[in-house]
Amino acid sequence: MTYLTDAQLHKAAQYLETREGGFANAIALAYYRADKDNEKILLNAFAPLFEQAYEKWADYDTPQTTKGESK
């Protein structure tokens, strides 16, 4: 399985769909359509793919503040 929360998995699927290659895109689309049983199968097989995509892109999407700027 994976350490990502449901919200993080969904965000990772979005990254896989739009920012990674064709295979990752297909896995993301399958994840969106999967029922709970098939979701577990996908995550058992491809957890590292979801985790790597989330780790790669999550910080990129997080707004960064610069010196003198407030959040």
pLDDT by residue for the chain (71 residues), tens digit each? 678 999 999 999 999 999 999 999 999 999 999 999 999 999 999 999 999 999 999 887 766 555 555 54
Q: Are 12 and 4 in contact (CB under 8 A)?
A: yes
The one-letter code for the residue type at 67 is: K
pLDDT of residue 69: 52
7 by Cβ neighbours in 10 Å (0-12 / 13-18 / 19+) ranks as exposed
pLDDT of residue 64: 54
Domain ranges (residues) in the chain: 6-61
